[in-house]
Amino acid sequence: MRGTAAAGILTVLLLCGCQGQPRMDPDTDPLVAVPVDFTLDVTVMVHEDLPGDPSNVHRRPGKFILFPDGILHSDTGEGVSFDTRPAQTRTLHEGQVAQVWSLVRSLGFADRSRADSIGNPALEQIEPDQILHVITVTADSRRWSYLYTFEDVEPADAASTRLIRVLARLGWEREMPGAASREPVWRFDFGPDPYATLRTDDSR
């Protein structure tokens, strides 16, 4: 009798304990929503005839690779190409990786049905005065790419530019202010040289 009662109490406690455990919803918990193999590979390709734009990270050659363990590799500037494998910049924590994945989803890059049907993105040819953004996503054992090409004088794609700027900030890439936005250098006039009368012609 006692054994039956004890078993009944244990069953009730187990049921209550199971019901009390919060269920993790991928739609509400960003850490659960991140695929275990999530990898992001972003390349900014600039035609060789175009000078790199130091004031805009999305308009100068760049490479950003985020691996599933949060390790971020990044580099920008002359000589960076699609085949570049930059050195490790930093390691993102789980929350930061989740934020990047959330941004990828919100910008539409997680939708494979909208991806570009291409082979090797490295073989893409860009015309003079063109800039190419290549965004490759790996998730759930699948891999797909988005390509955005625009003229140097045209505004860049808002989605790819936003993603590149976020990765650049995470990789501590600096954006130098443009020449037009630089403040003039202030030069102060402290008047005549107070030691001029003490100097001889030979000491000047």
Give the whole-angstrom CA distance, residue 115 versus residue 135: 10
- Per-residue pLDDT of 19-61, as tens digits, reads 444 444 445 555 558 999 999 999 998 887 776 666 788 888 8
- Sheet containing 142-151: give its strands across: 88-91, 71-76, 62-66, 39-46, 130-139, 142-151
- Per-residue pLDDT of 152-204, as tens digits, reads 766 777 899 999 999 999 998 865 444 333 444 444 455 676 777 776 665 55
Domain boundaries, given as residue ranges, for the chain: 30-177
Q: What is residue 187's predicted lDDT score, i.e. its pLDDT?
A: 46
Give the whole-angstrom CA distance, residue 125 versus residue 154: 18
DSSP-based helix, strand, coil % in the chain, nearest 5: 30, 20, 45
Q: What is residue 178's predicted lDDT score, i.e. its pLDDT?
A: 43
Q: What percent of the chain has pLDDT over 90?
A: 39
Q: What is residue 116's predicted lDDT score, i.e. its pLDDT?
A: 85
Q: What is residue 120's predicted lDDT score, i.e. its pLDDT?
A: 74
Looking at CATH, the fold of the domain delimited by 30-177 is given as Mago nashi protein (3.30.1560)
Q: What is residue 47's predicted lDDT score, i.e. its pLDDT?
A: 82
pLDDT confidence tier of residue 65, bands split at 50, 70 and 90: very high
- Per-residue pLDDT of 69-110, as tens digits, reads 999 999 988 888 888 899 999 999 999 999 999 999 999 999
* 11 compared with 160, residue with greater pLDDT: 160
Give the whole-angstrom CA distance, residue 57 versus residue 161: 9
Pair 51, 148: CB distance under 8 Å: no
Sign of CA dihedral 189, 195, 200, 204: negative
Q: What is residue 18's predicted lDDT score, i.e. its pLDDT?
A: 46
